[in-house]
Chains A and B, each alone.
Chain A
Amino acid sequence: QVQLQESGPGLVEPSETLSLTCTVSGDSISSNHYWSWIRQPPGKGLEWLGYVSYSGNTNYKPSLKSRVTISLDTSKKQFSLKMKSVTPADTAVYYCARDDTSGHFDYWGQGTLVTVSS
């Protein structure tokens, strides 16, 4: 069974960098999939942030491209999100998810709440 688990700080100060990691089990992170980050601000809907492919190629939501970096560490079976210059508007539950390259997310992590506050 494929499982994804997010980890990282739950509190980040404004203007700092948010860093999260997603650990994948039950699947090869090098298999033919895209690995995405998706977030949900409190009381709002879901927002796709970007993905890293099995080969390390990336694709980001254009409006966030200047602040977001997603990378892959195949040796640790992990992929990571870095978002710089965060503001309180970046407060959200952050999910990692697998896309089988067909454009749908078939496995998700449980999500982790990140609060941006001083």
Chain B
Amino acid sequence: QSVLTQPPSVSGAPGQRVTISCTGSRSNIGAGYDVNWYQHLPGTAPRLLIFGNSNRPSGVPDRFSGSKSGTSASLAITGLQAEDEGDYYCQSYDSSLNDSGYVFGTGTRVTVL
């Protein structure tokens, strides 16, 4: 089971703003490790959307933005478009003694109404 918790689903009409939360703990996000976000559309490879909490790789629209505070992080999508429909995952590093390493969130399905 993932140590990073996301809501199973969020939805919005075209043009609206949606946010996805990613809740961790003191052994991952709260320990200062960066949070990264990925978009996973059906039948495609996951795509890096946000790295280092709030940075966008070249080619990613500025409609996508990330933030981090305490033991949580958020991804915001403004001006929601039909092509944004898919799964979104947060990712960080966990320093737990028993199972350290890179960890992903539980994933959130974004639906455009």
Contact = CB atoms under 8 A, between A and B. Distances in A.
Interface of A: 36, 45-48, 50, 59-63, 95, 97, 102-106, 108-111
B103 A48 contact: yes
A108 B93 CA distance: 18
B45 A95 contact: yes
Interface of B: 2, 33-34, 36, 38, 40, 44-48, 51-52, 57, 89, 91-93, 98-107
A62 B34 contact: no
27 contacts: A45-B104, A46-B38, A46-B46, A46-B104, A48-B101, A48-B102, A48-B103, A50-B101, A61-B99, A61-B101, A62-B98, A62-B100, A63-B98, A95-B45, A97-B46, A102-B34, A102-B52, A103-B34, A103-B92, A104-B34, A104-B36, A104-B52, A105-B38, A105-B48, A108-B45, A110-B44, A111-B45
A108 B46 contact: yes
A75 B78 CA distance: 45
A40 B38 CA distance: 14
A104 B91 contact: yes
Among all A-B residue pairs, the 3 with the closest Cβ atoms: A108-B45, A104-B36, A48-B102
B101 A59 contact: yes
